[in-house]
Structures are given as structure tokens and as C-alpha cells.
Structure 1
Amino acid sequence: MRISMEWLREWVSVEESAEQFGHRLTMAGLELDAIEAAAPAFSGVRIGLVLAVAPHPDADRLRVCQVDAGTGETLNIVCGAPNAVAGMRAPVACLGAVLPGDFRIKRSRLRGVESQGMLCSAVELGLAESSDGLMELPADAPVGVDLREWLGLDDAILEVDLTPNRADCLGMLGVAREAGALLEQPVGGPVIETVPAATESAVEVRVTDAEACPIYAARVIEGLDPHAQTPLWIRERLRRCGLRPLHPVVDVTNYVMLELGQPMHAFAADAAGPALTVRFGGAGDRLRLLNGNDIEPGPADLLVAGQGGPLALAGIMGGEQSAVGSSTTRIVLESAHFSPRALAGRARAHGLHTDASHRFERGVDPTIPLYAMERATAMILQIAGGTAGPVVHAGTLPAAHAEVPIGLRRERIVRVLGVALAPSEVERILSGLGCRVTAVEGGWQVLPLRARFDLVREEDLIEELARVHGYERLPQTLPHATAPVTSATQDAIGARKRELADMGFHEVISFSFIGTDWAGAFYPEVSGLALANPISSELAVMRPGLWPGLVRTAAHNVARQRGDLRLFEHGLRFVPDASGLRQESRLAGLLCGRAEPEHWQAARRPVDFFDAKGVVESLCAQSAGTLRFVPAVHPGLHDGQSAQVRLDGRGIGWVGALHPSLRERFDVPELFLFELDAGIVAEVRVPAFKDLSAFPAIRRDIALVVDEAVPAGEMLAAVAELGLPVLQETRLFDVYRGQGLEENEKSIALGLILRAFDRTLGEGDVDSVTKAVVDQLSARFGAKPRY
């Protein structure tokens, strides 16, 4: 929002400098981005009256003007502007004047004719980007007066960055109210009176969805002067606020938007027809916008339609067909309240962002459309003449905008702010912000201003008290607090995260929403929950898992020559199901690059599946249950290097290599991922002491030939199922393929560790255990001893 200090001072007495007032706004939560001058520096420019214009004797495109600049003598000035005519008033840079860019005006001769100054265009004064000739000033502009002083060009413009909840300050009315509360000054403003209807001309108004458009008002104004010009003071205020003057009617609607915060629009009445309908788009709707873009509005687009079809994207931009032009003498003026929910994201969907959509998406005062209609009507009649018809409107304030009082307690103020504000101070601040305050036992009942959509509870009112009273005036004593008690689950997850950090992993935190392409690539079987109003197309759905964020982070680092990565993240995944949205706590990780730090004595070995599997085993080492890795297919993982992680038969996650197609798609090297149910990983067993045997252990090694497809883990699990008391451990210590075996065979070597608690084992004990193991593996997998 661009705030003209000169304009603001017409509403509120601001005696502070622009810098001081800007600092005050920042401290109150309206952050000041910049302070700009209303015009570039120039001096020596006066208001001049062109007395006579004659052709240059030696140049067809030049003219010799006689100009009265209030200096006591008539100036002879050579000018090339095509609009220079006798009787006009225009800026005159007298001898010695300095124009923007340090251009100094000196006495000169142009094609043999002396020139004693320079008649200026708006471009030459830095007041416009383009112009067709001299800057024409009003007929009542006082000749000889300094132009800078007369136009108030020493004005300062404050560029304020408003947060989305402060849409009430997107108009001078809201800014003035804020300034009045901060400076303890009364707030003025224009007197808005009802303009009586002077003609019966009117249009019918229909609204098909009262929730999307609670209030819609329209008024016919006819008999406009097509040659009318927007007054200079309006053009100047528009320019200082960043808008370009276009046409008197359009300029008035923009001016009222800047003044009251209410966007408006005007249709050429002949194109609009006898009735206006506010409805959502349907099949066959087409509209060419004022910017020349052709769109096909969909069922989510709110439209204003006439007899021939859509006339405007409601609250966003009008159509070219009904645009007000230089020959328009009859218009339909619109003033409406559109729901933020109905317009949210619709401008962005068509590649647009307008001043109107910016305001309506954040919320406009629903009580102001009819006031804005009267204000705009009066200004248009004053500038372009004509007669106004009756105001036709449909709708009333919906229940969502009903006034609901908020209770404010004195003791709550003290508890939250740490300071007791005087009752008079509380009432002054809230009343100054437009609230209606009634004292009750122990506090107040407060009816917030309708424009303040962000004031809905007691804490909101206390925040207003704090920022207007001054954050810097609040006590700086630290609050007393006790450390929160964490749950056993939180402690266990914290321990797992510290364990990952000890293994060289770095924690990352990524957005909980991702692009639909990323979600579809990793989790095609899950229909991710789409956001109603996403920040961008890359953040459009809630993530069904944590891998996309890790892979995106890895791609970012690899592109910057950081290839050795150990990343993990703990967060929620969001999976829609029949009961609604299921939110699950997950712990995920990523490995990429070298398996060990670079060292001159060690060969470079890249990480592989078993490195990732080892990390998972370490994380689950304290889990209560039997951990197994079962070969399975996951859309995001390599078919031959992926496994489902199971604990006591239930799936708790996945581990594997990123699928080659995804590696190519996201331009990352080979990397390995795991993702586990954090809640289950946090279920750790309490360590328990086991007796130690006083007798020696015996090891017996066996080698078995099995089919290549038999997983070694399944063989170990089958041995464990025997439950042999003296078999304490089974170790896989070798896998052999090659000479002496068929192409589809492999040799698995197992070490059997045997120990008893009551005696030293004999050869018979060892043989019986070995036979039981071989028989079990032979029956289950067709294993044959290898000699």
C-alpha cells in the first residue's frame, strides 16, 4: 500500500515527519518498506500562461510561444509540443531552473530564434512515463506560482507492506483510522451524502449465490460528457499511489478504491443490457478481459453477466466488450461485496493479480459498498455531468458478518501483557480503531469494526492494545515458565534422531505440501489431499510421504557439488481414507555418495542397499519384536533393490534404492531411502538381564547350496523358528557364486554358535543341532550341503 502523507494529513493531523510516522507504523505492525519522494527533484518551474503561438520561421515542427510566467516580462520560448495553444496553462522552466537529471535551463537559440526557458511535459518533470505534449494545467492554476509548491510535490510516499489480515488498511480510510489511534487524533474524511435519483433509468440485479456475493449494487448514470477530463488533483493522487489515469469514470472508481478500500467497476450501459446477473461460470462462457486475454471461465469463476454473456470476472477484472471508452455517455456503476472464499486463488488461476482481487481476497468491509456508490456517483457527476438513476441492490449482510461481541477482561490483559492499562486507555485505543466498547463488570464488551475480520477473540483485542500502546512500552521481564514434560514416545523419537545424528545424518525440515507431479511419482496409488488455495503449483497437495522433500533437498545439494549426503526428517504424512485424513508420524532418511569419509588408505566405496538396511536395523535394534526385510515392489524404489520392513509380521516401512526413472527425472545420482513408522520405532523394549553361561561355546560352520532366488534372511528366520535351546546365534558369513555351482545357484555359509547353561556340549549335541538345521533348510528351501 502506497500512502501519500499529503493525502493522509487531510484525514488526520500528522505533525511528525514521514520517517517518524513510518517508524511508528512499523512498531504498530504495519511494516514500512520504503519512503519515496512524490516527484524527482527539480526547481525553478512555474505555472505559465501561453499568450500567443506562432510558427518558427526556420523549422516546420517548432513554434515560438509568448509566455507569461509571472516574472514581470513576457518570455520568448521555442517549443516543439503539438498541443501548445494560446490560452493554455503549462509548466515553465525559467532560466536557471534545474530539471530532473541535473538538466539546467540556459538562454539558447534554436534555429536562430532566442528561447528564454522551456515549456515542460509531464515526462520532462518526472511525473509520467509518457506524454503527447505539454502538461496541461487547470484554467484556475495561478500564473507565476511555483509548480512544485502548488502541486505539493514535496509530498512523501510511504510504501507499507501489509500482512494479509490487515486488508482494512488497503484504503486511506483504514490508514487514517490507524493513524488516529496511534497519534490520539480525531479522524476526518469526506462527507458522503446520498445522491438523489434524477432519472428512472435502472438495471435489474440478480445474484444466484448469496454466499459468494452477499451484496451487489448497481446504478445507471447517463448523459455523461465524453470530453470531460479527470481533474489534475485526482490524477496526481492516483499517480502517487501507483495507478495510471485512464478515463474520468475509471479514475473515479480507482480513487474511491484508494480512498475507502472498496473496489468498484463501471460498465458501458449499452453493452451491459437491462439486467446484471452475478453467477458462476458455465459451459460455453467466454470472455475477453480488459488486458486483451481471452479466457473460458469455469464453474469456480464468479462472473457478472449481461444479456449477451459474461461482462467481467467478478471482483477481478472487467471485460473488453463492456469497457468504458472516450465515446461512452451512459454507464452502469457497480459496487459489491464478494466473499474472499469465492475469489480465493481465482485471479492467480488466470495469471492475473489486480488491485481489486488483492483486496477482495483478503476481505473488504461488507458495510461500505453503498457508501462507495454514493461517493463515486457524486464525483462522476461533478466531473462529467449527467444524471443518476436509483441505486438497485440485492442481498444483505450474511450471518457470517453478524456482529458478535467479544468479552475483554481486565485481569486477562495484565496476565498476557504483564502491565495493567488504565480503563480509559483501553477504551480510547479500541474506540479509535472503530470498535464499539461497553464497560461491564470486570472488563468490557467489544463490537469490532466490520472491516476487521481478524478481531474474533479476546487475544486479538489484547494484541491491538499492545501494538497501539507500544510494544516498546511493555515490561521486558521474562515470563516464568516450567519445562514441558515430554512423553515417552517423544523421548524415544528424540533418541532415534540423536542416533542418526551420531551416524553423520543431518536433519532437514521440508514443507508438508508438495507438487502433484512429485506426489504422483513417488506415491501413484495415493490421491493426495489437494489444497483449496495453494501457494503455488509446486505446493498443491499434502505429502503422502517424506521422500519427495528429501530427494528435492538432495537434488539441490548435488547441483552444488555436495554429493556425500546423509539426510533424515521426522514429520507427518497425510493419507486420505474413508474416515477422512489420516496423519501418520514417519521417520525417513536418505543416503548418497561415499560410504566412508575420504581417506588415502581406504578405497572409495559408494553407499549401497546394505548401508541403508544397516541404518534401519540400528534404529530398530531396541524395538520389541523380530525385524525382517521382505523383498517387495514400491513405485518409488528400484524393483531389484527394495524391501518392506516388517516387525513381528506387520509392515512398518520401506528401504531401497531410488527408482532409475525417478533418478533421471529429478536429476539425482544413485541414492538410497528408508521410511519408517516413527510411532512403532519409538516402542522400545526395556533392557533385561540374561544369565551368562559358565561353559564354553562351540561353533559349527555349514555351507548350503540353494536357488538364487532364496533370500538369506528367510533362511535365518527358518533356523530361528526351530527354537533350539543350545543354538544361541546363527551368523551368515559367506555367499558364494561361481565354479562348481549352477548358474542359478548360490552357496550360503552359516556359522552356528552353540552353548549350554548346564554342561559342556559334546559332539552328539553338535551333530543333532546341525542335522536339525540342515533338515529344516532342506525341507523349506531345498537346500543341499556343499562339500
Structure 2
Amino acid sequence: MKFSENWLRSHVPTQATREELVATLTAIGLEVEDVAALGDGLANVMVARIVECAKHPEADRLQVCQVDAGQGELLQIVCGAPNARAGLRAPLAMVGANVGGIAIKAARLRGVESNGMLCSARELGIDADASGLLELPDDAPIGTAIADYLGLPDASIEIKLTPNRADCFGVRGIAFDVAAACGSDVVAFDATPMPALTDKALAVELHAGADAPRYCGRIIEGVNAAAKTPVWMAERLRRSGVRPVSLLVDITQYVMLELGQPMHAFDRDLLSGPVGVRRSRDGETVKLLDGRDAALDDGFLVVTDADHVVALAGVMGGFDTRVTDATTNVFLEAAHFAPAAIIGRGRKLGLHTDASHRFERGVDPELPRQAIEVATRLVVELAGGAPGPVTEAELPEHLPKPTAILLRKARIARVLGIEIADADVERILRALGMQVAAVAEGWSVVAPSRRFDIAIEEDLIEELARIHGYDRIPTTLPGGATRIAAPSETRVEASTVRRQLAAREFIETVNYAFVDASLLKQWGVTDGAVPLANPLSAELGVMRTHLLPGLVSVLQRNVARQAGRVRLFEAGNVFAAPAVQGQAPTETSRIAAAACGDAVAEQWGQPARKVDFHDLKGDLESLAALAGATLEFRASTAGFGHPGRSADVYRDGRRIGWIGQLHPRLQRALDLDAEVVAFELDLALLSERPLPRASELSRYPSVRRDLAFVVADTVPWAALAATVRAAAGPLLRDVQVFDRYVGQGVESGQKSLAMGLILQDNSRTLTDREVEQVVADVVAAIGAGHGARIRG
């Protein structure tokens, strides 16, 4: 929000200097981003009129001007501005003035005497325009100090507003905060209703329910739309970042900047009535003020004339009913539109307007009538005309109702840690425009309708804190007993999982939880995707259903920048649409990792090789070991995985995730030349850990028996190991595979797996007969279950 310092001071008189005012604004939460001083040091700069111009005898681009500065005699000025001409009124820096750091003296330019300098807006320090002289209106009084005429010196102040402070999108809203902080009062505002001089009116109809609960309109006949915008208004607009356009448009902009209520002016003669507000219909179009044709769907709010769309409500007016210099009858509108009905609509069409910016954050529902009256007075005073009656349509049941909030003295002290005098509490709240009534526990407070952000007691306490001064709240250590929450022994902490992956040379990434819907479609993981109602951009339109699409995109960007060996991981939430409509999306914590390039960093000790499935499987099993978990891997049918090199991961019979190499087709679509291996698992299921139980160590020796089986190549080791454990019984301490062989002596389609069985008992030394019985049971079980045979 940008505004003129002098404009603000006209609403809230204060003795604070500019520096003090800027510091105060920042201190109370209205952070000042920029201050541009305007028109400082303009002594001896006057309003002057060029009486005649003649070509300079020695320079093609210079003119010799005779200028009337109200001094009784004409001054000769040599000027090179292209717009210098007889009859023009412009600022004249007299001899002795200092403009833009230049001391003005009498001089001879190419042999011709010059006694001053005609100035541009840039030379005066009030605008960036240096294309020519600053042209003043024909009624500008000659000989008047330019500072007095233009209301200088001044400053253009820009503040950064948080979304909850929509009330400060008008100068008057800022004035209440300044009054509260500086101990002054806001000047009473004249919004006296203008009497109707005609009975001409347009009917107004509301068909959008809570989206548009109030609409005010008024016809003004016989206006002079070609009248010039007065200097005081044009300058306030410029200093607020708005270029003057035409009088009627400038008045609506002025009222919006002063009160915070967006308005629009229609050419009455281009309307047939009634004027209505409704939801747009799919397929409707409207030509907007900027000349573009907007294609609408049923998600927009529109203003209609005889059910024909003439404006995009809360965003931009229509081209076909705009006011021009030829307009003689105008229809002013001021309405209240609910933020939910406007949010994202302009962005959907690639638009961002001052009106939509305000309506998206919330505009005071009580302002439309007041804005209509203020705008009417300005139109009548500056452009003439006869106003008709105000037509107001409203749906009271959809308008916010003021509610009283109990503010307790004890609660203020509890939250802020300090005592604020009762008189100060009442002064601050009343200065902010609130209704305050004393009650037994403290005060009953009703916030003004413009303060959408005041809903609970803590909101009022926040107001007291920022106006009283955060710097006046002492820094104290919290008192009382601190409850220390012990980590659960039945779960591995997420931080431990992160450290483990970092120790295995993975780098953590943090991605947006929003992704491009086309990326999820590319991966084939769109099921359950939750679209955002108000996305930051089209590329961040849905909530992610998996971590891998975003993680692999980061990996791809690193590979594209010549990173040869990339190992990344991410821990975060994924989202899925709820099973029951109206409920919140479900969130699941996941851990994912992706790697490509060499398995180990370049070194002399071992030859280079590419990372593969088994490398990443080892990393995953190191995580499982933290929780004492045994994982099972089964062939996966996930569309984004390589058909022969990917697996679903199970723990205790429950699927907890996926691991494998990405499908070559997906890698090509992602522009990845390197083979990528990755995994993604449910972090909660992976992190479950049984309570550790101490057990006695056996005092008796263990026995190892090595067996080699020839089995079909399609049989995984995990299936064999499960069969061994089931057949060997309680004497089995561990089973390890130590060799895999295919080749001569082993039939095609078969493989030889060698395993070691480690047997032990806690109470005695095992006999050979017991050991041989276990071995026989294992051989029989593997033969029966998997068609395996002992390798000869």
C-alpha cells in the first residue's frame, strides 16, 4: 500500500516528524518498505507562464522564452524542453533557487542570457518523468510558490501489509492505527448523504447469496466527464502509485485509496437495467477494460445488465459500458463481495487489480453506502450533475454481525506478562475505533466492521501489545515447571532416520508439498490428488501424493548441472483426498531417497561401478535395522518402476513402500540419461520398534552348517530364508547367504545359493544328531516348498 504522507496527516494530525512517523508505522506492524521524499527544498520555485517562444539563434534544440512569473516584468529563459510553448504554465526556478542539487544562476547559453530554469517533474523531485516541462493547469495562479500549489514537501510512503490487515488498504484505515500509537484523534469524516435531485434510478438484484450480500448504486445525470482532474487529487493519486486517467475514473480510484472501498463507474446510457450480481455461467464471455475477452466458467462472480455480463465483480469492469469523456450520465457502484468469491478469480485470468487485491483480503461491508456518498459529492463538485437516489440491495442474513468479545484484565497480564493501566487499555481500543464497555472482569469490546481479524480475546491483546509497544514489554524467562517429554521407546525418531541417511552420504532436500498435476500424471500417481482452491501458480496446483516425483525432479536438475554422483533424500508428508466428502485430506509421513551415478565416490582402492538396486537395498535395510525390522521384498507392478528391477517392501506382512529402478520410459520423459534407483516408504510403519528385552547369552558353542541349493532363478532369497527359519525351529540363531552362482554345472534358468545355518541352544551343547535333524528338516522344507535340491 502506497500513500501520501500529507494525505495521511489530513486524517490524523500529529506533531511527529517524518522519521518518527515512519518508525511508528513499522513498530505497530505496518512495516514501511520505502519512503520517497518529494519536493524538498523548492524555495524560489514559482508557477510561471510562457508568454512567447522564439528559436535560439545558435542552437536548433533550444528556445528563448519570455516568461511571466508574477514579478511585474518578463524574464528571459533559455529552454530545451520539447513541450515548451506559448501559453504553457510550468514551474520556474528563479535565480537563487537550488533544484536537484543545482544552484540556479543568471547565465549565458550559446550567447543568449537566461535568468532561471523552467523545470520538469524529475528536476523538482516529485516524479520520474523528465520528458518535458511539468505542465500545470491553465488556472494555476502565476507567481504562487510551486510548493504551496502542489502541496509540497511531501513523501510517498509504501508499507508492507500482512493479509489480515485489509483495513489498512485505505488511508483512513491507517489513520486509526497512527492515532492510537501517537495519542491523537482521527479527524471526523464527512460522508453526509447527498440529496437526490432527480428520481432516476436503476433497480438492483442480488442472486449470489453470501458471495454478494450488499450492492449500492446511484445515477448522476448531466456530468461533464471531460473536466480535468484537480491538481490536489491528481497529486495524491500519483504519490499513491496511481496515474490519473480521467476525472470519473480518478474519483473512483481516489475513494478506494482513501476509504479502502473499490468502486466502478458505468456509462448509464449504455445500461438498460436492472443491474444484478450472480454467478457466471459456463461459456459466458466479457470484454474487460483492458480490451481482453475473458472466457468465464461457473466459478466467477459477475455484474449484469438485464442478465448480460458487463463486469467481472470485484476484479475489473467491462469495456462496453465504460465511461469516456463523452459520458454525460454515470452509474456509480459500490458493493461488498465475500473474499471467498473473489480469491484466485483474477489470477485465473492472469489479472491482478487493486480491487481484487482488496476484496480477496476483505473489505468493510459497511463502506459501500459511505463510498457512494463521498464519490457523489466529488463528482457533483468537480463535474457537475444531478444525483438520483441511492439504490441499495442487501441480504442481511449474509452480512457479518458485530459480536462482543470479553477482554479480561487478568488475561492481559497472563499473556503479555505486564500490567497495562485501565485508562491506556480503553484509550487504545477506542482510538482503534472499537466500542468499549467496562464489565466486572475487564471490558466488553465490539470491533469495527472493517477489522475482520478481531475475533477472540487474544486478538484484542495483540492490538494492545503492538500499540502499547513491543519494546515496552520486558524480556523475561518463562517461569514454572517445564515438562520434558521423553521419546517413545517403541518408535525410531525421524531425526535418527535422517542422520542415518546422512551418514550414508545422502543429502536432505525440502520440496514444496504442492506439485504440478502434469508431473503426477507423468508418474501415474494421480489417484487421490487434492487440487488447491487458490494455488500459488499453475505449476503448484495439487498436493503431492508421493515424495519421489519432486525428489527425482531435484535429482534431474543436479544431473543437468554436471553433478555425476547424486544421492538425495526427503522426509515429509503426502496427501490424499478424503474418503468422505467434506473431511480434511489425509496426511501420511513418508521417507524417500534417490540415487544415480557411481556407487562410491571416485577413489583408487576399487574400480568404479554404477549404483544399483542392491546398493539402495542395503541403505534401506540399514534404516530397518534401527527399528529391529526384517523386511520382505516382493516383485512390484508399480507403473513408474522398472518391471524387472523393482519391488514392494513388506514388514510383518504389511506393505510399507516401494524400492527399485525407475522405468526407462519415465527416465526418458524426465530427460534423465543416468539410471536412477529410489525408494519411498511409510515412515511411521518403518519406524515402529518393539520394546527391547534382555536375554541370556548362551554359554555353549554354536554350530554352523553350510548348504548349497540349486533352485529356480525366479525364487527370491527372502522366500528361502523364511522357509529355513520356519523349518529349523528354535535352535536356529541366524541364516546368511554367502554365495550365488550361475554358469557351468548349473542348468539354465537355475541358480545356486549357498547359505550358512547357525544353530545354538542356551542350556546345552547340541549333539550331532540334533544338528543333522535340523539340516534334514531344512533340506526337506526347501525341496517341498521351492523345488530346490542340494547341489552336488
Give the TM-score of the pair, scaled to structure 1: 0.92
Quote the offset at 1:95 in angstroms: 4.8
Secondary structure of 2:736's counterpart equals strand
Q: How does 1:436-455 map to 2 (within 5 A)?
A: 436-455=435-454
Q: Does the 8 A contact of 1:8 with 1:172 survive in 2?
A: yes
Distance 1:78 1:275, change over 3 A: farther
> Which residue is equivalent to 2:369?
370
Q: How does 1:94-133 map to 2 (within 5 A)?
A: 94-95=94-95, 100=100, 107-108=107-108, 116-120=115-119, 122=121, 125=124, 127=126
In structure 2, what is the equivalent of residue 265 of structure 1?
Answer: 264
**Is the 2:53–2:86 contact (alpha carbons within 8 Å) kept by the matching residues of 1?**
no
Q: Say if 2:774 is the partner of 1:773.
A: no
In the alignment, what sits opposite 2:529? 528
For 1:330 and 1:233, locate their aligned partners in 2 and report how far apart those are by CA, in whole Å.
25
Give the aligned residue type for 1:375. Answer: V
Q: Which residue of 2 aligns with 1:46?
A: 46
1:84-103 aligned at under 5 Å gives the runs 84-86=85-87, 89-95=89-95, 100=100
User: After superposition, where does 1:322-471 map in structure 2 within 5 Å?
Assistant: 322-399=321-398, 401-471=400-470
Paired residue secondary structure (1:477) = coil
In structure 2, the CA distance between the partners of 1:66 and 1:695, relative to structure 1 (3 Å rule), is closer
Match of 2:156 in 1: 157
Q: Residue 485 in 1 paired to residue 485 in 2? A: yes
C-alpha displacement at 1:411, in angstroms?
Answer: 0.7
Taking the aligned partners of 1:752 and 1:132, their CA distance within structure 2 comes to 92
Q: What's 1:245 paired with?
A: 244
Tell me by how many angstroms 1:727 deviates: 3.6
Letter of the 1:33 partner, please give it.
E
1:680 Cα deviation after fit: 2.5
Quick one: which amino acid aligns to residue 427 of structure 1?
Answer: E
Report which stretch shifted further, 33-42 or 2-11: 33-42
After TM superposition, give the deviation of residue 562 of structure 1 in Å. 5.3
Which of residues 637, 640, 643 is equivalent to 1:639? Answer: 643
1:171 paired with 2:175, answer no
| Paired residue type of 2:720 | M
In 2, Cα distance between equivalents of 1:192 and 1:735: 91
User: Are 1:721 and 2:720 counterparts?
Assistant: no
The unaligned stretches of length 5 or more in structure 2 are: none
Pick which of 389-398 and 121-130 moved more: 121-130
Quick one: which amino acid aligns to residue 549 of structure 2?
Answer: P
Check whether the contact 2:629–2:689 (CA below 8 A) recurs between aligned residues: no
TM-superposed CA distance for 1:552, in Å, is 4.1
Distance 1:117 1:734, change over 3 A: same
Residue by residue over 1:364-410, the C-alpha shift from the partner in whole angstroms, topping out at 9 and shown as x without a partner, is 11101100000001001111111111111111444551011111111
SS for the counterpart of 2:304 is strand
Contact 1:84 1:134 (C-alpha < 8 Å) held by counterparts: no
Deviations 1:482-502 (A, max 9, x none): 144245266644444444444
Matched to 1:645, the amino acid is: V
Matched residue, 2:757: 752
Matched letter for residue 37 of structure 2: A
Q: Is the 8 A contact 1:653 1:676 kept in 2?
A: yes
8 A contact 1:6–1:156 mirrored in 2: yes
Displacement after TM superposition at 1:60 (Å): 11
* 1:62 to 1:754, Cα distance in 2 relative to 1, 3 A: closer
Cα pair distance change 1:355/1:41, threshold 3 Å: farther
Match of 1:220, SS? strand
Could you tell me which residue of structure 2 aligns to residue 601 of structure 1?
Answer: 605
Q: What's 1:687 paired with?
A: 692
Within 5 A, what are the aligned runs for 1:538-549? Answer: 538-549=539-550
Please give the alpha-carbon distance, in whole angstroms, between the structure 2 residues aligned to 1:19 and 1:73. 42
- Give the residue type in structure 2 aligned to 1:686: L
For 1:448 and 1:769, the matched residues in 2 are separated by 82
SS at match of 1:724: helix
Specify the alignment match of 1:512 in structure 2. 513
Deviation at 1:553, TM superposition (A): 4.1
Aligned to 1:295: 294
Residue 585 in structure 1 maps to residue 586 in structure 2: no
Q: Which residue matches 1:627?
A: 631
C-alpha distance in 2 between matches for 1:456 and 1:431 = 17
Deviations along 1:94-148, whole A, 9 cap, x unmatched?
A: 45656558596764568x9765445445466565566997544345534223313
Task: Mark the CA change 1:203 to 1:61 in structure 2 (over 3 Å): closer, same or farther.
Answer: farther
| Residue in 1 that maps onto 2:576 | 575
Return the alpha-carbon distance in structure 2 between the equivalents of residues 490 and 241 of structure 1.
Answer: 58
Q: 1:722 aligns to what SS in structure 2?
A: helix
Tell me the matched-pair count. Answer: 784
Does residue 235 of structure 1 match 2:239?
Answer: no
Q: Which moved more, 1:748-757 or 1:318-327?
A: 748-757
Which segment is superposed worse, 702-711 or 208-217? Answer: 702-711
Q: Give the partner amino acid of 2:575.
A: F
Label 1:21 to 1:109 Cα distance change in 2 as closer, same or farther (>3 A).
closer
Task: Determine the C-alpha separation between the residues in 1 that align with 2:378 and 2:554.
Answer: 56
Task: Determine which of 673, 698, 704 is the counterpart of 1:699.
Answer: 704
Query: 1 CA distance for matches of 2:43 and 2:675?
Result: 67
Query: In the aligned structure 2, how far is the partner of 1:663 from the partner of 1:175?
Result: 55
- 8 Å CA contact 1:18–1:35 kept in 2: the answer is no
Which stretch shows the higher mean deviation, 448-457 or 181-190?
A: 181-190
Q: CA deviation at 1:555?
A: 4.1
Question: 2: CA distance between counterparts of 1:448 and 1:719?
Answer: 74
CA distance in 2, matches of 1:622, 1:128: 66
Verify the 8 A CA contact 1:655 1:674 in the aligned structure 2.
yes
Residues 621 and 447 of structure 1: CA distance in aligned 2, closer, same or farther (over 3 Å): same
Match of 1:674 in 2: 679
Give the aligned CA root-mean-square deviation in angstroms.
3.0
Q: Which residue pairs with 1:652 in the alignment?
A: 656
Which shows bigger deviation, 732-741 or 62-71?
62-71
**2: CA distance, partners of 1:496 / 1:417:** 39
Q: CA deviation at 1:311?
A: 1.4
Partner Cα separation in structure 2 for residue 754 and residue 238 of structure 1: 90
Pick from 779, 783, 786 the counterpart of residue 788 of structure 2: 783
Distance 2:129 2:6 in 1: 25
2:370 and 2:438 map into 1 onto residues whose CA distance is: 30
Unaligned 5+ segments in structure 1 are none
Does the aligned pair in 1 maintain the 2:225–2:247 contact within 8 Å? Answer: no
> Which structure 2 residues correspond to residues 66-85 of structure 1 after superposition, within 5 A?
66-77=66-77, 84-85=85-86
Residue aligning to 1:4:
4
How big is each residue's C-alpha offset from its partner over 1:60-97, in whole Å with a ceiling of 9 and x where there is no partner? 999765422133421234667668454x6332244565
Q: Which residue of 2 aligns with 1:277?
A: 276
Once residues 487 and 70 of structure 1 are traced to their aligned partners in structure 2, the CA distance between those partners, rounded to angstroms, is: 85
Aligned match of 2:713 in 708, 712, 716? 708
Amino acid paired to 1:421: I
SS where residue 729 of structure 2 aligns? coil
Matched, 1:29 2:29: yes
Deviations 1:558-609, CA, capped at 9 Å, x for gaps: 4555555554443332222424432223333344444445443233344322
Q: Which moved more, 1:335-344 or 1:586-595?
A: 586-595
Give the AA of the match of 1:524: V
CA distance in 2, matches of 1:519, 1:159: 41
Contact 2:164 2:361 in 1 (8 A): yes
With normalisation by structure 2, the TM-score equals: 0.91
How many Å separate the matches in 2 of 1:254 and 1:239?
Answer: 11
Residues 474 and 491 of structure 1: CA distance in aligned 2, closer, same or farther (over 3 Å): farther
